Amino acid sequence: MTRTNIPYNNIVLNFYTALYSSVRQKGCRVNVLEAKVQDAKNNRYFYPDLVISCNADDFKSREFIKHPSVIIEVLSPGTKGYDRGDKFKYYRQFSSLQEYVLVDSESISVEIYQRGEGRMWLYSAYSEGENFTLSSIEFNCAVDVLYEDVSFETEQEQQ
């Protein structure tokens, strides 16, 4: 759980801001950063960057979310391998999970895995100037909204 830079933080906040009113209107809740997600089957805990639940039991919980509908991870250099690999393997075990979203913090890129039939997950990739949809919560957004006011330049490049 490495939060390394301001672009990372801005992407998380931009995504939260874009989601908030839409998710609430649909009777769901979005939590950010420190919301603990529990895999009760294997007794594992995760702290995704954003998690959306539409389950009434999760709304009552004060400790953790057990029924995520959408999990969003903002990729950092130190975590992207784990987020794409083992973490996704664990997340797929949540029967409630419909979409897993990966947002790059070093380039403009959004990847979405959507639950399909049986064990199948459908993959879609989006970049600058495109829109994406999270079907499970009927949410449509421009990729560019997530990267608003995000700079990929380092301090050395700016001098």
User: How many residues can be counted in the chain?
Assistant: 159
68 occurs within a structural domain: yes
30 occurs within a structural domain: yes
pTM: 0.91
Long-range CB contacts (< 8 A, 24+ apart) of 138-144?
138/22, 138/26, 139/19, 139/22, 139/23, 141/18, 141/19, 143/108, 143/110, 144/108
Q: How many domains does the chain have?
A: 1
CA 159 to chain centroid: 33
Structural domain harbouring 126: 6-158
Query: What does the block give as tokens for 9?
Result: 């933080």
1 occurs within a structural domain: no
CB atoms within 10 A of CB 88: 17
33 occurs within a structural domain: yes
How does pLDDT run along the chain (159 residues), one tens digit per residue? 455 688 899 999 999 999 999 999 999 999 998 888 988 677 788 999 999 999 998 898 888 899 999 999 999 888 899 999 999 999 999 999 999 999 999 999 999 999 999 889 999 999 999 999 999 999 999 999 999 999 887 655 544
Q: SS3 breakdown of the chain: % helix, strand, coil, rounded to 5?
A: 30, 30, 40
- Report the CATH number that the domain containing residue 140 is assigned in CATH: 3.90.1570.10
